[in-house]
Structure 1
Amino acid sequence: MKRIQQLLFFLTATLVALTGCRESPTEEAVAPRGVAVEIAVRPDGMQEQTRSTDEEAIDDLNFYLYDDQGSLLLHRYQQATTLRFEAEPGHYRMRLAANLGRDLGANPSEEELRISGAESYERLPMSAEEELDVTAAGASCSTIEVRRCVAKVSYEIDVRDPNIELRSVQLISRPRTAALFAPEAAPSSDPADYTDSPETTLTGTAASGACYLLPNLQGTVPSITDQRQKSPEHAPEHASYLLIRAANGSRNLLYTVYLGGNNTSDFNVRANVHYTFRISILGDDEIDTRVYSYSIQVWDDFDDYRFGDYCIYEGTTLLHVDVENNDEELPLNGTFAVVSGESSKVFFDDFHGESGPDFKVYDPNGDNLFGVQYSPTVYTSSNSRFAYRITLRDPYGVCGTYDFEHQMANVVYAKPSTGGTISVSGALWNGETGSGSSLRSVALCYEQGCSLTARAGAGYLFEGWYSDSGYTQRLSTSATYAFRPQKTRTELYARFKAEAIPLDEGGTANCYIARRLNTTYSFDATVQGNGKTTTNIRPQRLNGTSAILIWETGTERNAIISDVSFADGRITFTTGSKRGNTVIGLLDSRGDCIWSWHIWSVDYDIESSGQTYASGAVFMDRNLGAETTDYTQPASRGLFYQWGRKDPMIYSSLLREAVWNEPCRADVTYAPGYEYELCDPREYGVPYDVMTIEWSIRHPTWYMYDATFEDWEPWESVSDWLYDSNSNLWGNRTTGSEIIMITDKTIYDPCPPGWRVPDLEDFKDISVASASVPYYATICCNGSQTAKYPLGGFLNGSRYENNGENACVYTASPYTWNGSKLNHFGVDCSSINISGAYQNIYATSYFRYGAHPVRCVRE
């Protein structure tokens, strides 16, 4: 704290007699045969006073005459300044009260004999109490002087330091009341009996003025020997003083000048005394205890969120009250008041409402932070102006008033996805923030809103406006969106998609190969499989409403495909940065899966890598769904299918029972509600309710067991996942006991367009060339040409059997070889089984609930 180098003030007190009278005499007899008395009333001289009419004028008198027993003999209220009355010879006591402006009455109470202090006076209150002797020769006096009941304080302030500028002067600790006839009475100790005068605003480096106060006899403090010690730390609690506020740059300066009979120890302020102070302020010396020095800076953070002429609401904004103080015990308090705005939507330091209670500046020498919020539901043209006032007080009164005004506006952040831009019209202000992938358009508006227009770049299409970054809540498909704010802050997302490459140009299917990474594809989602009618199978048009990603290989969601959507009868998706297998589901309005498609994301040229077997059939060189041709890896096995179903089962390491020394396959990411499950029809009340094609389509990730019942149970055992078996699910035309060696691709075939599940006859004349147990077997497929098959066994519900021993692949044939004869038993099917240990190949019958890989053949 800086203190003044020298604070000089001078006190002189002398008595000067003032006289004044008015010629309007009034006579009244006290008793018959009395002596006529005439007494002139005039004001006593105020010490060191400059004469003025106001200070010496007497406008009215309350006169009381008492006998020597104290009994009231006469009361008179008059405007004249001469008293005329008759009195018998004797000893009397007189009381006079001048300039009270009212008749006190004949018998005033003690309270009525007190006067109240005032900020200013037209006429100064005066009083006198004197003894009077009356003899036959007349009265003992002809004049009585009334003394002013107030003290006068005059000041002249001169600032010698050019860096200091005056702000205000104020008289502190003025007594509220005083007794008319006891000017030397002891003062009150009750703080409520004292008040402060209003501040008088000052400017510049010089000022002068005068004020009045009632007597305040606070006594002396003999220990004060230096005028610089005559300060609040040493003064009596209710002593009167002048408080001078000044400023040195950003620092507030407080000078305290105590009144009294001298410059040091005396704190008595007496009535009818003129105290004159000539005060020279030479600096802000910290040594002088009469000087407090502190600086206050007050600001808020609203402009941190300013766009143009408008501020936006981005959570709690802080009010800063930064104090630098040379006296850390100097308390500072403040008041917050709303000037403009919806007061009920204002939050300040845990308080809501129009104006708050006093708050404490908790750190008198540091940065104080207070939360400020103004958050109506929506900013409108009528409530957008938010203004508030901070009033700060030190122990001596108001030390600063700070007004803040902010024009608020609703903000909408609109973020475009890759492939497009956003323009804004009709906004109060608009621009952009961020850069690169974080670039956003910013628009400010009131309740009328604004228009946002999405523009797709070359090779992209606009898909829609969304309220979330995950693009799950679409608001509009129109490129121009009429935005109307529902809250003060809104985030919108414009989604652009690359013009999709159609996967179904060569025909529709249940599996599509997506060769390119980070590429958008689409396919017809109204057709079941290839859409063809075949033996015992008739397709139906699909009427979906949405699409989801049901599962994908790996642990990172949307790493293989993302942005799955359904519109205008087509499913669109975008491949990611990784390869693998996924399944996309089409949902109806109830959220049920009504069809699903396998997306095989591999860089696989299916046409150029085909292998022609001895039968003349052209096979893929790998199993359907294989992600690699490194047959030491589990990903080389491809996916597993129950016979006749279109939906693949993943070869997760969590499902393997027999594990050899190979890297484990990573887990699978499933959509909620579509995790891999086992369906045992015995656990259902009516087993054939779940043993249907419709149930299998709605549950594409469920493995469906056969139905085996005891003789006493009401249902027939079926070695199939389908209660009413259908031998034509994968296109073979065999019916009943008739075996037909012709296959048509069906709507349930799991192969890509142009490919189908092979017949048993397509594997004619193949043989085992070698085996690398437990990884793969090599077969001779056509002369010297070979093909490799992984020894992945088959899936039986919760375990993989013959893992590392046999290579199995399904055929479309509902019949098997029995020696040299073909047999059809109705519920079994043929599978090519390649033994790694015995290095032989045989066609075996297997129940249809087993899950085997498929190696597709060209149609």
Structure 2
Amino acid sequence: MVTGVALSADRHFLEFTVGQTTICQGNAVVAVRDASNTVLWSWHIWVTDYRPGTIGTTTPDKEITNYQNRKYKIMTVNLGWCDGKEETYAERTVQVRFKQRPTAGYTSATPKTFTVKQKAHTITELGNSTYYQWGRKDPFVGALEGPGGSPNSINKTWYDASGTTHTNQLPAVQSFPTGTACITRGITTPGTFNANSYMDGQYYNLWDANNNTTSTNDNLVVKTIYDPSPVGYKLPPSNVFTGFTTTGQYTSNQSQFNVQGAWAKGWHFHCGLNHTGDTVFFPASGYRNNFTAVPDHMGSLAYYWTTGLGSAYGGWTLHFHSGHVNPLVNYNRSSGFEVRAAQE
């Protein structure tokens, strides 16, 4: 998808090509290296026909209201979103002729012809998006649903810098050191999944420069260089999704899910409080295990990061499946979860 990655002639820019004949939805990571081949910095390239914003787009950002009555304008898709495979079966008509065998002594029955019409039908698989570890800017490849509804998800096919194809293969996995060395290792090895569970275990402000608390809040987020969101967007604070239940808290009572319609491998959450307003879809995009990077439960549950930390070791997330919604649950920072960006 992305080729010809190189420094510009004046060495001020990184250049690359997305060919017209090969362009498609997808994600790539491009990087600048030093003379010893060490990555100095990397960037996420998200190739998509999705157009964020509120003007000139068929998928305008949605304004949601949380339980604390604070409003946030969020994207309608996850970062790194790719649409699911779609198969369309055209309408067709067939004729079936029947002739009943005559009973002894009776005249043969007249053949009858019936016309059977099969309606057109489209099957669309659940789309997928990239995963992120808390405090890191670089994405990890998304996953596909397991066969027959299995919770064992499938790694999307990905390609390394040499163009080698990796089919249902995990990214590199390594346990990073803690502290600032963890942040450095994340920068120099953007494609390596950190399996030390707590990440750096020290910094609270990697996704919000001003954050210094473990309390859930609606504080103004100051975007950092480690935020994976594109220009004009940032990760939202911890309270952002509290309006997705009528109580602002965990519930397994479906009447308290602030949703419209039935479970659809995700929920159509109301943007307003108490079953009011427009809706925005959050897919059940699964997660990557915080120790192994193995993708799990694609299509059956999801976790969405916020900027907040509940401790030095765990971040505040939205978690849901068909049986419960929890707007504020704390999970290990090395887990690979989804991101839904909000306007700056």
Q: Within 5 A, what are the aligned runs for 1:60-139?
A: none
Name the CA distance, whole Å, in 2 between partners of 1:764 and 1:778. Answer: 15
How many angstroms does 1:639 deviate by? Answer: 0.5
Q: Tell me which residue corresponds to 1:593.
A: 39
Name the CA distance, whole Å, in 1 between partners of 2:314 and 2:215. Answer: 15
Match of 1:575 among 9, 18, 29: 18
Match of 1:613 among 64, 67, 80: 64
Mark the CA change 1:591 to 1:749 in structure 2 (over 3 Å): closer, same or farther: same
Q: Is the 8 A contact 1:658 1:801 kept in 2?
A: no
Structure 2: where are the runs of 5+ without partners?
55-59, 87-123, 245-257
Q: Is the 8 A contact 2:206 2:226 kept in 1?
A: yes
Length, aligned pairs only: 268
Name the CA distance, whole Å, in 1 between partners of 2:128 and 2:262. Answer: 15
How many angstroms does 1:575 deviate by? Answer: 1.4
Mark the CA change 1:661 to 1:679 in structure 2 (over 3 Å): closer, same or farther: closer
How many angstroms does 1:829 deviate by? Answer: 1.1
Q: Tell me which residue corresponds to 2:116.
A: none
Q: Tell me which residue corresponds to 1:725.
A: 202
Q: Is the 8 A contact 1:652 1:668 kept in 2?
A: no
Match of 1:830 among 305, 316, 324: 316
Q: Is the 8 A contact 1:770 1:779 kept in 2?
A: no
Amino acid in the other structure paired with 2:313: V
Q: Tell me which residue corresponds to 2:4.
A: 563
How many angstroms does 1:633 deviate by? Answer: 3.1
How many angstroms does 1:843 deviate by? Answer: 1.4
Q: Is the 8 A contact 1:561 1:574 kept in 2?
A: yes
Mark the CA change 1:770 to 1:679 in structure 2 (over 3 Å): closer, same or farther: farther
Q: Is the 8 A contact 1:691 1:721 kept in 2?
A: no
Answer yes or no: is 1:750 the counterpart of 2:228.
Answer: yes
Q: Is the 8 A contact 1:794 1:808 kept in 2?
A: yes
Q: Is the 8 A contact 1:562 1:574 kept in 2?
A: yes
Name the CA distance, whole Å, in 2 between partners of 1:733 and 1:803. Answer: 34
Name the CA distance, whole Å, in 2 between partners of 1:809 and 1:732. Answer: 20
Q: Is the 8 A contact 2:235 2:307 kept in 1?
A: yes
Name the CA distance, whole Å, in 2 between partners of 1:739 and 1:777. Answer: 23
Mark the CA change 1:758 to 1:688 in structure 2 (over 3 Å): closer, same or farther: closer
Q: Tell me which residue corresponds to 2:112.
A: none
Q: Tell me which residue corresponds to 2:133.
A: 642
Q: Per the alignment, in what secondary structure is the counterpart of residue 613 of structure 1?
A: strand
Q: Tell me which residue corresponds to 1:626.
A: 81
Q: Per the alignment, in what secondary structure is the counterpart of residue 207 of structure 2?
A: coil
Q: Per the alignment, in what secondary structure is the counterpart of residue 811 of structure 1?
A: strand
Name the CA distance, whole Å, in 2 between partners of 1:664 and 1:798. Answer: 12
Answer yes or no: is 1:785 the counterpart of 2:278.
Answer: yes
TM-score, L = length of structure 1: 0.29
Higher relative contact order, chain-length normalized (CA < 8 Å, sep 6+): 2
Q: Deviations over 1:474-523 (max 9, x none)?
A: xxxxxxxxxxxxxxxxxxxxxxxxxxxxxxxxxxxxxxxxxxxxxxxxxx
Structure 1: where are the runs of 5+ without partners?
1-559, 682-686, 707-718, 816-824
Name the CA distance, whole Å, in 1 between partners of 2:214 and 2:327. Answer: 22
Q: Tell me which residue corresponds to 2:172.
A: 677
Q: Tell me which residue corresponds to 2:300.
A: 805
Answer yes or no: is 1:760 the counterpart of 2:233.
Answer: no
Amino acid in the other structure paired with 1:647: D
Answer yes or no: is 1:853 the counterpart of 2:296.
Answer: no
Mark the CA change 1:605 to 1:561 in structure 2 (over 3 Å): closer, same or farther: same
Amino acid in the other structure paired with 1:760: S
Answer yes or no: is 1:840 the counterpart of 2:334.
Answer: no
Mark the CA change 1:691 to 1:651 in structure 2 (over 3 Å): closer, same or farther: farther
How many angstroms does 1:672 deviate by? Answer: 4.7
Q: Deviations over 1:306-360 (max 9, x none)?
A: xxxxxxxxxxxxxxxxxxxxxxxxxxxxxxxxxxxxxxxxxxxxxxxxxxxxxxx
Instruction: Work out the percentage of aligned pairs sharing the same amino acid.
Output: 24
Match of 1:704 among 158, 173, 194: 194
Mark the CA change 1:601 to 1:764 in structure 2 (over 3 Å): closer, same or farther: same
Q: Is the 8 A contact 1:736 1:826 kept in 2?
A: no
Mark the CA change 1:688 to 1:746 in structure 2 (over 3 Å): closer, same or farther: closer
How many angstroms does 1:736 deviate by? Answer: 5.7
Q: Within 5 A, what are the aligned runs for 1:204-353?
A: none
Q: Is the 8 A contact 1:624 1:854 kept in 2?
A: yes
Name the CA distance, whole Å, in 2 between partners of 1:739 and 1:781. Answer: 20
Q: Per the alignment, in what secondary structure is the counterpart of residue 772 of structure 1?
A: coil
Q: Deviations over 1:510-565 (max 9, x none)?
A: xxxxxxxxxxxxxxxxxxxxxxxxxxxxxxxxxxxxxxxxxxxxxxxxxx222222
Q: Is the 8 A contact 2:242 2:327 kept in 1?
A: no
TM-score, L = length of structure 2: 0.70
Q: Is the 8 A contact 2:209 2:224 kept in 1?
A: no
Q: Tell me which residue corresponds to 2:184.
A: 694
How many angstroms does 1:768 deviate by? Answer: 2.8
Amino acid in the other structure paired with 1:605: R
Name the CA distance, whole Å, in 2 between partners of 1:618 and 1:689. Answer: 33
Mark the CA change 1:700 to 1:737 in structure 2 (over 3 Å): closer, same or farther: closer
How many angstroms does 1:601 deviate by? Answer: 0.8
Mark the CA change 1:736 to 1:581 in structure 2 (over 3 Å): closer, same or farther: closer
Q: Deviations over 1:747-778 (max 9, x none)?
A: 100000000011122223222334435x2222
What is the aligned-residue RMSD (CA, Å)? 3.0
Name the CA distance, whole Å, in 2 between partners of 1:808 and 1:852. Answer: 5
Amino acid in the other structure paired with 1:648: P
Q: Tell me which residue corresponds to 2:111.
A: none
Q: Is the 8 A contact 2:239 2:328 kept in 1?
A: no
Q: Per the alignment, in what secondary structure is the counterpart of residue 692 of structure 1?
A: helix
Between structures 1 and 2, the one with greater strand share: 1
Q: Highest Rg: 1 or 2?
A: 1
Name the CA distance, whole Å, in 2 between partners of 1:850 and 1:828. Answer: 9
How many angstroms does 1:845 deviate by? Answer: 0.5
Q: Deviations over 1:132-156 (max 9, x none)?
A: xxxxxxxxxxxxxxxxxxxxxxxxx
How many angstroms does 1:690 deviate by? Answer: 9.6
Name the CA distance, whole Å, in 1 between partners of 2:214 and 2:18. Answer: 46
